[in-house]
Each structure stands twice: as C-alpha cells, then as structure tokens.
Structure 1
C-alpha cells in the first residue's frame, strides 16, 4: 500500500513539474490581456527582480556553460515576463495615474520617487544610461562572444571527436564515457548557438523599453491633459514620473540578466565558480599587490590629489600583499617540514648495521615525475593520471591477455619541474615533459595553420606538437590539431611503451598467475601441461616470442592445447612458437587484414627464397647469410615496406614457414613495423595477392 502511495506521489510531482512551464507561459501572456490588481502587480515586479538576481547567482556559481544549459530559454521567458509587466503596468498607469503616485503600485512609486528623487529629468537620464549600458555594452559584447564561440565550437567538433576516439582507442576511457563526451560536444555547440540567438531577445527588449517609455509619456500627457483636465506640467510630473518608475523597474532586472548572460558565455575553463577564479587569479600574487600599493602611494603624495583616499587604499593593498606573502611562506615551510623531519631522524653518530631491509627490489614498471607533476599523481588531490593508469592496465589486460605489473610512481626532486621518466626494471625506456594546466596540440599531418606556443614533439609517436594555453584550445581544434591535456600525454606515452615491451613485462610470476587463472576453468588442461610436459619457463618463453612479434595471448586455451599436443615431440620454444602461430593463424591474419578482404602482401623472389633456404639448411637457425646479400635484403625490404605504408597497406612479408623466425628477427630492427607471417599461418579461406617482390635484383 505504501509503495502505491509513493508511486502516486512520484507521478503527481512529475506531472506538476511538466505543467509548470505551460502554466507560467499562459500566466505571462494573460497579463498582457487581463487587468491586474495593483497588489498583484507589485508581487510580479518583485518576483521579476528576485528571478533576475537568482539567474545571476546561478550563472556565477556554474562551473561551465553547460551547467546552465537552460539559460537561453530562461532569457526568453524573463524577457517575455518583463514585456508583459510593461503592458500591465502601462494599463494601470494610464487608467489610475491621475489618482496619485501610488496608483500604479508601491514598487513603481518607489522607483519613480525614491530612486531618482522624484525628479523627471534625473529619472530620464538614469533610465537612458541604464538602457545604453545594457544595449550597447553588455548585450552587444555577450552576443558577439556567443556568436564567435558558436562558430569556433562548431569548427572544433571534428578535432574533439578525434581526441575522444584517440582516448577510447588508448583505453583511457570506456565506450560509455566516450558517448557522454560526444553528447557534451553536441550540447556545447547547440548551447552557444542558442545563446547567440537568445541575446537578440535582450537587445530587442532594450529597444522596446525605450519605445515603451516614449509611448507611455505621450499617452500619459494625452490622458492627463485631455481626459482629466490636468495642466501640462502637472500631467508631466505625474505620468512621466510613473512611466520612468515603470521603466526602471523593468530595466534593472534586464541589466542583471544581461550581466548573467555575459558571465556564462565569457567563461574560460571549468575549474570553479566565478568568485573563486577571480579571487584565486587576481589576488594570488603578493608582488602585484606591492606594486599596486606603491603606485597608489606615489599618486597619493601628489599635491591636489585626494591624498587620504589614495594613501588609505595603498595601505590596505600593501597589507593584503604582506598577508599573502606570509601565507605562501607558511605553506612552503609546511611542505618542507616532513623532509626536514626525516633528515633529523637519521642517526648522527655511528652508522647502523646493514640489513636485508636496505636491499630494495627494482620496480618492474616505474614512473618518476618532477615536483610540478606531483598533483597529477597525488591520490589526495584526486590526480587524473592515477585514474588513467588504472584504465591503461585494465585495457592492456583485455587486449594483450595478461595483467602487467603495477606502475610504481614516485617524485624525483632532481628532475626538471615538468619532467617525467618511465623505466622498465630500473632502466629508462622513455621520458619527456608535461605542463599541467596546458594542452598539447598534436599535428596529425593535416592541420591548416601554426599555433603560438612551446614547440615540441609528441613523446609517444614523435609527431610535431605545441604546448598551448587553455584559451587556444578551441583555435587548435578548429585548425585540425588533436588536443590533449598533460595527464593524457603521459598516459598515452606510458601505454605505448607498455605495449612495445609487453614481452619483457611477462615474467615468471605473471606466467604462473596466468596459468592459474586458466586453470580455474580448465584445471585438467593445465595439469597435463605444467609441469608434466613443459616447465613454466618454457611456456613463458613461447608466450614472450608471441608478444615480441605483436601477437596477443588472449586465446590461452588454444595456446595451451597446442603446447600440450606438441610438447612430447619437441621442447624447443622456437619450434613450439611456430606451431602455436599456425594455430592462431586466423587471429593473426585478422588483426593485420580485418574483414574478408584479400591479403595484399610482399613476398620473396623465388631465387632469393632458394638461397635463404640453402643458408638455413647449411647454417641452422643462425643462418649464415652472405653480407652483401644481407645488406641488399635489408635495404629492399625497408623500401618496399615504406611503399606499402604509403598506399595504406600494412607491411606484411609472406615467407615459407622455415624462414619465418629467421627473417622476422633479422628484419625487425631495420623495419620495426614489418610483420613476417608464414604460408602455413594463412587460413585457406583467405585470398593472397602479392603486391611486391623482395630480392628482384639480388
């Protein structure tokens, strides 16, 4: 019974929310037609002022424009509300204005009499100034910003989509997050486009306010003089003052709404609300405070200047600068205290005896960062790079087939502030620099222009790039650059190196853990193989051979079955690797040539193939290839592989099975992107087309 009642309440509240907007619009339109009591008019004027202040507060506390995505609609509704109130108040002013200053309500009377002192001329000047500020300055500027933002956001959409696809392919985000980001990009473009159009409402409202003021003045004078037999001066004093009060009541909320619109469209970044950003950036540097105080102090000493005011402000700003400097010193001392305490804890006299605790194992995967990159990896500060590294390990396990060792992260004060280094088993395998708060604009090869920024290269792939400020992000997208933040740069570099060194990451411990994991689903299969037929080290060597040539080991069931089948005849890891590759041939070919397309490969010229087979038979696996022939083979293979890549084909060399391992190892250093596959690895269902021959001139 309670569940039914709760469901009814939920449905009722949902229906009420759905009816709120239509009812509000109908009420606003009704005010243009139906006469309103003076009390209700005061209530609606007060509500209009409260609504405009509420909108401005929401705009100030929004962290990014899309947090207030309904703002264009709010602009339309508030503009319509003000115009409806203008019509309703005009009706009351013209009908009841002759009865006294409060005939049109207390709000209009207060704005007409109190705010401008009952002076018609002052009221007209104040009204016109407010209208000009709203129309010429704020609304025009906000409209221009919205127009430019809409154009740049639309131009940058392809680049942003590419950046999302790159993050998705690198495993930094999942499909759900990618869909959310794509949706946000579309919403951002729609928002700025809507704001560009909605700003015309506010400009039209300002023009309408001036015209309504003139019409009301003329109408009030006519009604007062012709219908109520008032003198021209008396009619002007009564009706013009009420009209000015009516105009000010409408223009002040309009000005507040325009300021809110300007705040929303002029925001850069999404790190906090407007107040926090202004205070954090404008009053953060004590040197700025000291220089400002000095300049004001010098001006305050000039004869004829308002000395007291200038010197007072100089003293206040100088005191603020002193407070900021002391605060920075205290924070720096607090950061240095733990280090000093650790140093003081060290024994000062005789050195302690060495122990096994002094032997620190080498990290399998290590990431060292300079001190400016610490916030990116600090768990207490919710470092973005930590989340990305966790995502990388998960993506690696899903794609490659085993769980790599965790990345051990530490800071290194000997590094440059923005430097980082990636190490494998204590040996550096990569490094670079990253700049938190900036973005790396990478040139994928088809940009339309250069950027102003710190020129560099993408550390993962060596592409030309620029480190740019956040304000240049939209421009970079529009020019065709792929723009990523600092944590993404480091994560992508780390992911690239992990994939390149996957074979070295598969140690004895990881191999045993992988076998144990497979043994949960197929315990008999693992028991029959390890240790009865093969040792763990032999299985590890076979898996490493596969990983060295870019073959994932996700299909461990097939790998184990093949090893169990052939382990009785050979224990050689190379021979076992060849058998496993034949069993995985369909998957290997599929990864190189997706779909059902034919295999467009390179092949050996028959004469060269015979020479290599003879060298293989004479010299064994080492293969005593004549130096001149080896040089020609390397040079021609590199040239043909480059031509294959230039026409969009993967560089794949098809060779007889006995030559596959020899040529793969021989050519790998000279042509890292080359894949060598054996004839026996190609499924019978796939069609082969030879596009180039290696050794035609050998």
Structure 2
C-alpha cells in the first residue's frame, strides 16, 4: 500500500474517531480551518474543469466532506456544552459576524442555511436527477453511433472502446451525483437541529451546572452556537455551489472563467445599451448620478475595449488565414487540389458579371437550377454542379463553356441589347449588330430596346441575353451529356432504381453485366440524344439479353428497340407523318458486306472512295430537307443501323439514324429521298 493510500485510510478513520473522542481546542481550530481550505479548493477545481468527468471523484468527495463537517460539528457541540468553549475559530466567527448583536447573527446563519438548502442544493439535486435520466436514455443512441463510426472506419477499436467507457462513466457519475446531493440536504437539516440543541442545552447547562444567569448563558452560548453554525455552513455552502457548478457545466474547451468572459462579454453593443440605461437611471430618477455614472462609464469603456479587441482579433484571423493559404500554396501537397477538374464550367468576362450577380438583378443561378431540372426530365441524367466564375483573360462580353476543363462552346453577349432572329422574311427596317445565335448558329441581330417592339411585330424571335446563355448552356449539356456520365454517376442512378426495384438490379449487376457495361450502354444512348430516364426498361432489356451477348453495341440496339415508343414520340408530332431519308438496298448491301469481325467485336471497314460517296449523297438529301424546313432523319434496317451511325458520327453527329424496329407500327413514314450507291 502506498503512503498516500495510507493517509486517506487514516483520515477516514480519524473522521469517525472525532465523533467519539474529545479533541483539544488547538486541534479543533486547525481542523476547522482545514475544512474551509478544502471547501475553497473544491469550488475552484469545479470552476476550472472543462468536463464533469474530469472531477468524477466529486460524489464520493461530497460524502467525505459532509461526514467531516458533521464530525467537526459533533466535536464543537461537545466542547460548547461541556466546557462553554469551542476554540478561537468558533468564537471569532460568532463575535465578528454577529457584531455584538445576537439577532443579526441568527438571521445571517438562517439565511445561509436557507440559501444552501432551498436554492443551491435543491437546484443541484434536480439538475443531477434530470442529467442522470437523459444520460441513461441517450446511452443506446450513443452506442449505436459509436458502432456506426467504427463500421465506417472513422474510428478504430481502441477509440470506440474509450468512447464506450466515457458513456458508462457519464451515466455512473450523474447517477452518483443524484444520490450525493441528498448528503448536502441532510447536512443542512442537521445544522438546524444542532443549532437548537446548542442553544437549549447551553442554557440548561449554563444555568444548572455553571451557575450563570439566563442572560449570561444565553449570550455566551448563542455566540458560540452562531460561530459553530457559520464555521460549518460556509464550507458547506461552498461545496454545494461546487456541486451545482459541476452538474450544470456543459462540455467545452475552456474552464468556467474562460467560458464566462468569452460568452458574457462577446456583445459590446449590448454593453453600450446597458451603460446608457444605468446613466438614464441617474438622470431621470432620484438615484444620484454619482452612483450611476461611474458604473455607466465603466461599462461603456469596457464595451469600447471589447470592440477594439474584437476588430483586432478579426484582422489577426484574416492575416492568419492569408498566411495559411500562402503556406498551402508553397507546400508540396498544394498541387493535389489542382488535379481536380470540374465537370462543367461557365466562365465570362467582367462585362457579364451582372448576369450572375443577384444584387444587380442577375438570375443566372436560378436559370441554371431550372436547366438541371430540365435535363433530368428530358435526358434522365443528374447534371453535376456547374461552376460559375469570371475570367479576366476573356473579352468583357465573352463567355465560354467548358466540359472537364476543355472549351466546347463560346459566345458574345450585349447586356443592353436583345437578340432578334428572323422568321425567314427579312425586314429592312430592323437594323442592329449582325451576329450568330450561339446555340444553333442561326443568323441574328443584336437590337436595342427601342427596336424590340417593332421586331416582335415583324415576326422576329426576340430574346434577352440571360435567355440566350441559358439556351446555349442547355444545348451544350444535352450534346455532351454522355461525357458527364461516368461509373460513379451510373452507380448513383442505379442505386436510385434499386430502392423500388431491388430484384432487377440484383439480378443484373454483377451477375449478368458489370457496372461498366451498363455505363457504356447508357453513354451510347445519350450520345444519340436518347433519354435514359426510363432506366427500369433499359435495365430490364439488358437483363434479358445480357445473358446472350456482352457486346455493348448490340445490347444498345436491343435497348433502342425496347424504347421504340419513346423514340417514336421524340421524332414525330401527333397526327403528322415522319419524314425520313431512306437508305436504299444497294447502300445497305455495301455496308453489310463491309462489316468485319474481330475479337473486340464487329466494325465497319469501307474504302475511302465509297465513304466519300456515301457522305456526299446523304449530305445532299439532308440539305434538301433542311431547306424545306424539315428535321432530317435517316431510316435504315436494324442490321446495319449501328454501322451507318458509326460512319456518320464524325461528320453528321446531329443527324439521327433510326431503324424500322425502333418505330411504332402505327406511325406513318414518308420518304423524302433515297440514298443508294
């Protein structure tokens, strides 16, 4: 056993012996001073703890100190009744606090008892009881949170063990505090009982055994009793206050003094209001200004200094943040952040800043939200967040659109003008700055406000600059949607389907096809502007045919046929026939004969002369349809559709190539031309 352990054991035994063995007055004085010192130490420790568990011994310490005070009270009561003396400490407290007036002494003593018993002890007891209940109720949730963090890899086994132990210690601590608060309540009740015993017993003993008069006995024993009560109740009050501080303290990074000053004096403007109110009390009430003005001046000066410190602290934080940014740039690891490429970027010159500035009436951010919703509805993809920034390297009215860091489109805007597109019949009275509509490349004019109404009356399509940008951005996203759909985005879409169709997803991935195979099929559909919103039908088709072939080109054709109703509605208007360019039998035969097989799949191998002829003849038919105001659509047989699409993909990417199997039987097809070799 260590020496300090032996000291504690001897001290506990000594406390018990004090109740039965009379103590000399000098030792009693020493122990009473020790009791006061211990109470001061306990309250200071309670104020400087950052967490209640840092003072987890407090419930047991509360019992020991209560027992120590009761033992001292028994010893002082024995000396008061037996010797009419309890030492210099008790006598000094009685005479000094009472000030020669016994009634004042009694009142002070009773006030201390009431404050300790009703205010502090009662409140601490209630807080400890509620904290114990809430801690026990929260234990299952905290345990589950720890298990979740452990399973997610956020903490290791040792950290999880430490957290579990802390939760258990919290429950034990607040449960023990709930019971230990009863000790203080009992101590207050015992002090009142001892007060009555000392007064009544002292009068009887003084008159009967020491031949004192009633007045002398009452005066002597009252002073000693008051001193005994005060010398025990002041430490009890300090320890009760420490108990209240410990159980009401929330976990924080500072002690009570730091939290108090940081949170109470964080609002200098409110101190000015308080200072003004106190000054007004001195001016408009009978309270003298000499009483209120010093306090008001002190509060105003404190608010001024706090405001200065707050401003200086903000400047220091800004400077520290700038220094940290500089250090990050200088550090070798800073280049890692430069490797991140944004999926979509919209950059503009400084002249177009009002487009994105809401304070200047710009609604570009709201329009982008609508664009993302529109793309989700029309294409079935979730467009990633579009990064918007100004670029001083661009011309003031220029903007560029980037996909994965590469510029794919650009345009110019005149913010104080409108873009007017002719209906086909030019009006010479409509004048402006010649330009091209950025989304579709149509001839247009930038006109001013005064010309806008006349242009609309002449049949021109007039749009404002934000609408021009929104349309251009929408078309660029639709055109490059297949580049934005990676494996991670595909997984997110499939997880969304899995919530309602778990059997479908589990049967397809990874048993039939991998996630990468599904992503390739979806990309091929988006490349030809086929919506993948009906993802359930797509996955069902892949699950059906994925067991027969892993060729994503062939699987894409099966999916397109399954989406025949969607494709038909995409290219036809209700009640109208579908005007197409038909591929003749000689061209179909030529393409079919040029298909080569390899280990990686089949591909089209045409000689350059035949390729050039095919390009030219299809282009002639496409030009005729465009001049007639019709959307060109190439129609061919299912067997060669994907090969013809591969052939036209580089030069005529926007021309849709359909097969007969992709159209509904009830649609009326009108051939506007035939392409043959």
Task: Provide the TM-score with structure 2 as the length reference.
Answer: 0.52
CA deviations 1:666-693 (Å, max 9, x no partner) are: xxxxxxxxxxxxxxxxxxxxxxxxxxxx
Query: Take 2:552 and 2:163, find their aligned partners in 1: how far apart are those partners?
Result: 58
2:303 aligns with 321
Structure 1 counterpart of 2:558, from 618, 625, 628: 625
| Deviations 1:471-507, CA, capped at 9 Å, x for gaps | xxxxxxxxxxxxxxxxxxxxxxxxxxxx96999xxxx
Q: Distance in 2 between matches of 1:327 and 1:307?
A: 29
- CA gap 1:180/1:626 in 2 versus in 1, 3 angstroms: closer
Could you tell me which residue of structure 2 aligns to residue 165 of structure 1?
147
Please, which of 75, 79, 94 is the counterpart of residue 62 of structure 2? 75
C-alpha separation in 2, matches of 1:550 and 1:617? 13
Quote the Cα distance in structure 2 between the aligned partners of 1:213 and 1:631: 99
Paired position in structure 2 for 1:146: 128
2:15–2:71: 8 Å Cα contact kept in structure 1? yes
Aligned to 1:51: 38
1:201 maps to 2:176: no
Q: For residue 624 of structure 1, give the secondary structure of its aligned residue in structure 2.
A: helix
Tell whether 2:113 aligns with 1:131: yes
**Match for residue 79 of structure 2?**
92
SS at match of 1:33: coil
* CA shift in 2, pair 1:167/1:232, >3 Å: same
Match of 1:639 in 2: none
For 2:59 and 2:405, locate their aligned partners in 1 and report how far apart those are by CA, in whole Å: 57
Alpha-carbon distance in structure 2 between the residues aligned to 1:413 and 1:123: 77
- In 1, the alpha carbon distance for the partners of 2:563 and 2:281 equals 82
Q: Say if 2:43 and 2:239, in contact at 8 Å, map to a contact too.
A: yes
* DSSP 3-state at the match of 2:286: coil
User: 1:71–1:361: structure 2 CA closer, same or farther, 3 Å change rule?
Assistant: closer
Distance apart, 1:611 and its partner CA: 5.4
CA deviation after TM superposition for structure 1 residue 195, in Å = 0.5
The SS at the match of 2:270 is: helix
In structure 1, which of residues 346, 349, 363 is the aligned counterpart of residue 338 of structure 2? 363
- Structure 2: distance between partners of 1:191 and 1:127: 32
Quick one: structure 1 residues 234 and 174, their matched pair in 2 at CA, closer, same or farther if it must change by over 3 Å? same
Provide the C-alpha distance between the structure 2 equivalents of 1:80 and 1:69, rounded to a whole number of angstroms.
19
Q: 1:32 to 1:500 in 2, by over 3 A?
A: farther
Q: 1:296 to 1:281 in 2, by over 3 A?
A: same
Task: Check whether the contact 1:364–1:425 (CA below 8 A) recurs between aligned residues.
Answer: no
Residues 119, 241 of structure 1: 8 Å contact kept: no
* Higher relative contact order, structure no. (Cα contacts within 8 Å, ≥ 6 residues apart): 1
The CA deviation at 1:309 is: 1.5
How is 1:503-582 mapped onto 2 (pairs within 5 angstroms)? none
Contact 1:60/1:273 (8 A) holds in 2? yes
Identify if the C-alpha distance between structure 1 residues 288 and 608 changes in structure 2 by more than 3 Å, giving closer, same or farther: closer
Aligned to 1:544: none
Per-residue CA shift, 1:142-170, capped at 9, x if unaligned? 10000011111111111111221222222
What's the counterpart of residue 224 of structure 2? 242
Match of 2:10 in 1: 23
CA distance 1:361–1:263, shift in 2 (3 Å): closer
Change in 2 beyond 3 A, CA 1:166/1:612:
closer
Distance of aligned partners of 1:325 and 1:624 in 2 relative to their CA distance in 1, 3 Å threshold: same
Tell me the distance in 2 between the aligned counterparts of 1:163 and 1:201. 36
**Aligned with 2:256 (options 274, 293, 315):** 274
Rounded Cα–Cα distance in structure 2 between residues aligned with 1:165 and 1:366: 35
RMSD of equivalent CA atoms: 4.3
Q: Does the Cα contact within 8 Å between 1:363 and 1:426 map onto a contact in 2?
A: no
**Structure 1 residues 475-494: aligned runs within 5 Å:** none
Question: Would you say the 8 A contact 1:364–1:426 is kept in 2?
Answer: no
2:76, 2:12 → 1: CA distance? 18
Change (3 A) 1:623 1:264: same
Cα distance in 2 for partners of 1:156, 1:242 equals 51
* Equivalent pair of 1:365/1:425 in contact (CA under 8 Å): no
- The alpha-carbon distance between structure 1 residues 362 and 122, as it changes in their structure 2 partners (threshold 3 A), is closer
CA distance, structure 2, for counterparts of residue 413 and residue 213 of structure 1: 80
Cα deviation, residue 296, structure 1: 0.5
Q: Distance in 1 between matches of 2:543 and 2:307?
A: 76
316 and 628 in structure 1: CA distance in 2 versus 1, 3 angstrom threshold: same
Going from structure 1 to structure 2, the CA distance change for 1:361 and 1:132 (only over 3 Å counts) comes to closer
Count of matched residue pairs: 388
Structure 1 position 61 matched with structure 2 position 39 = no
Query: Are 2:238 and 1:256 equivalent residues in the alignment?
Result: yes
Larger radius of gyration: 2
Q: Distance in 1 between matches of 2:320 and 2:229?
A: 64
1:188 to 152, 170, 174: 170
- For the 8 Å contact 1:290–1:318, the answer to whether it is kept is yes
For the 8 Å contact 1:362–1:425, the answer to whether it is kept is no
Conserved? CA contact 1:53–1:256, under 8 Å? yes
Structure 2 segments unaligned to the other structure (5+ residues) = 326-331, 343-387, 391-402, 407-486, 492-508, 518-539, 566-600, 602-677
